[in-house]
Amino acid sequence: MRPAVVRELEKTGPNGGPLNEDALSRPTMAGRETGVWIVVEVAAGVVVNLYLLAGVGLGVGLIAGFAGVSGGYLLTPILMILGFPAPHAVGTAQALQAGNNLIGILRHRRLGHVDLKMGIIMATGALFGAEIGLRALHHARAISPSHADIAVLSMMMIMLGVIAVSMAVEVRRSRRRLAELGEADSAADEGEIHTAACEFLQGLCIFPHIRFTKSKLRISAWIVLGLGVVIGLLSGFLGVGGGFMSNPALIYLVGQPSLMAVGTNLIAAFTGVTFGCFRNAMLGVVHLPVALVMLLGTAIGTQLGALGTSWVKGIAVRSVLAASVSAAILGPAIKLAWMLTGSQVTWLDQVARLVALLQIAVPVALIALFLVMGYRRRCGGAVPAWVRRMLAGRPDQA
Amino acid sequence: MRLPTISRVKQRPRKRNWVVSTVEAVVAAVLVCVMTWYALARTEQLDKQMAEAGATWTGLITVAIVLSAGGLLAFAFGRAEDAVRGRRAAADTQAEADE
């Protein structure tokens, strides 16, 4: 017998459209070949080109690898703009991120940047959070399909706003810190950061107060567990890894070293998205072929992007991330406007699609520019002064 | 006499031939491509099989497929890195021998 949520969902079609009997009883992913183009039916009457999805995956991977983020904040809105209903977009993004996070964990484990004890506690919290987030999403969908879409897009916009603000604060703080330390001591900036909040939280003696030897700190397990629940909530409801919130939280609130925070957070994010993928697959809203095709693109893009970071300075990475986040707010905003107008203004949907592709294309073009200029500089060619400031290497190589 | 436990024995990293690493990387990448192609080519058949298997099995199979693809890709990238490093080391050794 199918779960109650599925039975509820079967009463309405995606995007409030006509009733599709198969909408959630099994994945709607009939692959169709039209000439050399393969299209995938993602909802009733909505088809998406598979090569486009592979390209989007490659672009997201390139940005994610270059900027050192998971890229989940780009995936779910783009899938929704391309026509996936919210639960389908979240389920597919979770499947894709489960594979991608596994690659990240294995890489960080090789480098020794994973605190397994803290990761397991966070992962336990992430399991609860993911279930709550997933139930909230499907509950919204059961009320009305458009409710879920609007809720996800609105939350995504709030989340992107939080990223943009936290990025601005972080950039200002790191500039001030660099100015205080001086260029020569900038390497010291990579270690542990002791804030008043982290000293307060580490001082809270709530049982069990656990020592994390790898992170060299002692903190109550409840705080770590709570952080895991937040990550799980985000992954369950939005299909994102939540690194943009948990990484600063681990560094500034828990007091974990920066590099260790990235690897440890990946364990919680991986658990959240994998559990979410499992639950969504049970409900039949994971598009496996789409997830696999995009995973291939994302994995290759991430490796290329990560290679590119050795050619540029931190400021170039931050510029790409800022461009990506700023552009990423536009697409969901236009799609939301289209939904709020009762899906009547068709050109808004077309503009949202165009902006969604541009929000990938602009940062990718920036990365390509940095890499081409970096190559030219290494070969002794002329490079514009504003680009030269962002490239790694000796100043006399201009 | 106290014998060293396994964790106390410092293991030396296993040296791999760069050709073997390249072959391993290519095989892993090809496997992922085959998985993706199969999922695309047999979409409707997969749908039917999953629908027959039931919700829990559908969830488990989906997670297993995605994680295998991720694991294979991680393995392929790791081996590709080893191959590039091994190739460079071999070229350096050859250059030193020539000198």
**Tell me: the pLDDT tens digits for A345-386?**
888 888 988 988 888 888 888 888 888 888 888 887 777 877
Q: Which residues from chain B sit within 8 angstroms of residue A282, using beta carbons?
A: 55-56, 58-59
Measured distance CA(A78)–CA(A333) in Å, rounded: 12
**pLDDT of A145 higher than 90:** no
Contact call for B36 and A289, based on CB within 8 A: yes
Contact call for B66 and A292, based on CB within 8 A: yes
Chain A: residue nearest B29 by CA?
Answer: A296
Report pLDDT for A368: 87
What residues contact residue A42 under an 8 Å CB cut-off, 6+ apart? A28, A29, A48, A82, A83, A84, A85, A88, A287, A290
Name residue A10's amino acid. Answer: E
- Exposure string for A195-204, b = 16+ CB within 10 A, e = fewer: eeebeebbee
CA A72 to chain centre: 2
Lowest mean pLDDT among A5-9, A315-319, B61-65: A5-9
Measured distance CA(A348)–CA(A337) in Å, rounded: 8
The stretch B27-52 carries a mean pLDDT of 87
Tokens 């039975």 map to which residue?
A: A7
What residues contact residue A233 under an 8 Å CB cut-off, 6+ apart? A129, A130, A132, A133
Using alpha carbons, list the distances in angstroms from residue B41 to A298, A354, B53. Answer: 21, 29, 20
Measured distance CA(B41)–CA(B32) in Å, rounded: 14
Contact call for A292 and B62, based on CB within 8 A: no
Report pLDDT for B8: 47
Distance from CA of B7 to the nearest CA of A (A): 16
Closest CA to A323 of A164, A107, A213: A164
Cβ pair B64, A281 in contact under 8 A: no
pTM over 0.90? The answer is no
Q: Higher pLDDT residue, A183 or A207?
A: A207
Q: What are phi and psi of A257, to 5 degrees?
A: -60, 145
What residues contact residue B58 under an 8 Å CB cut-off, 6+ apart? A281, A282, A284, B50, B51
Report pLDDT for B31: 94
Contact call for B55 and A295, based on CB within 8 A: no
Lowest mean pLDDT among A189-193, A210-214, A235-239, A242-246: A189-193
Per-residue three-class SS string for chain A:
CCCHHHHHHCCCCHHHCCCCCCCCCCCCCCEEEECCEEEEEEECCEEEEHHHHHHHHHHHHHHHHHHCCCCHHHHHHHHHHCCCCHHHHHHHHHHHHHHHHHHHHHHHHHHCCCCHHHHHHHHHHHHHHHHHHHHHHHHHHHHCHHHHHHHHHHHHHHHHHHHHHHHHHHHHHHHHHHHHHCHHHHHHHHCCCCCHHHHHHHHCCCCCEEEECCCCEEEEHHHHHHHHHHHHHHHHHHCCCCHHHHHHHHHHHHCCCHHHHHHHHHHHHHHHHHHHHHHHHHCCCCCHHHHHHHHHHHHHHHHHHHHHHHHECHHHHHHHHHHHHHHHHHHHHHHHHHHHCCCCCHHHHHHHHHHHHHHHHHHHHHHHHHHHHHHHHHCCCCCCHHHHCCECCCHHHC
Q: How confident is the model at residue A183 (pLDDT cuts 50, 70, 90)?
A: low
The stretch A171-187 carries a mean pLDDT of 62
Report pLDDT for A11: 43
Per DSSP, B10 falls in state: -
The stretch A36-61 carries a mean pLDDT of 81
Residue A3 contacts B where some CB pair is shorter than 8 Å = yes
Residue B10, phi-psi category: left (phi > 0), alpha (psi -120 to 50), beta (remainder): beta
Residue A239 contacts B where some CB pair is shorter than 8 Å = no
Q: How confident is the model at residue B49 (pLDDT cuts 50, 70, 90)?
A: confident
Report pLDDT for B57: 92
Contact call for A31 and B43, based on CB within 8 A: yes
Report pLDDT for A46: 76
Residue A26 contacts B where some CB pair is shorter than 8 Å = yes
Report pLDDT for A110: 77
Q: What is the pLDDT of residues A250-308, one digit of tens each?
A: 887 888 887 788 788 888 888 989 999 999 999 888 988 889 999 999 988 888 888 77
Cβ-based burial of A303 (10 A; exposed 0-12, middle 13-18, buried ≥19): buried
Max mean pLDDT among A17-26, A158-167, B3-12, B61-70 falls in B61-70
Q: Which residues from chain B sit within 8 angstroms of residue A281, using beta carbons?
A: 58-59, 61-63
Report pLDDT for A179: 67
Report pLDDT for A274: 92
The stretch A48-53 carries a mean pLDDT of 86
Cβ pair A80, A316 in contact under 8 A: no
Q: Which residues from chain A sit within 8 angstroms of residue B63, using beta carbons?
A: 95, 98, 274, 277-278, 281
Contact call for A282 and B58, based on CB within 8 A: yes
The stretch B82-89 carries a mean pLDDT of 89
How many Cβ atoms sit within 10 Å of the Cβ of residue A162?
A: 12
From the list B35, B55, B74, which residue is nearest A103 (CB)? B74
Question: In chain A, where are the structural domains located?
Answer: 7-397
**pLDDT of B1 higher than 70:** no
Measured distance CA(A313)–CA(A391) in Å, rounded: 5
The stretch A187-210 carries a mean pLDDT of 71
**pLDDT of A182 higher than 60:** no
Q: What is the pLDDT of residues A76-112, one digit of tens each?
A: 889 988 888 888 999 999 999 888 888 888 877 777 7
Measured distance CA(A352)–CA(A348) in Å, rounded: 6
Work out whether the CA dihedral B69, B70, B72, B77 comes out positive or negative.
Answer: positive
Q: Higher pLDDT residue, A13 or A243?
A: A243
Closest CA to A293 of B77, B76, B44, B41: B41
State the best of A1, A22, A102 to mutate against chain B, taking most chain B CBs within 10 Å: A102
Measured distance CA(A373)–CA(B5) in Å, rounded: 53
Contact call for B62 and A107, based on CB within 8 A: no
**pLDDT of A340 higher than 90:** no
Chain B: residue nearest A29 by CA?
Answer: B43
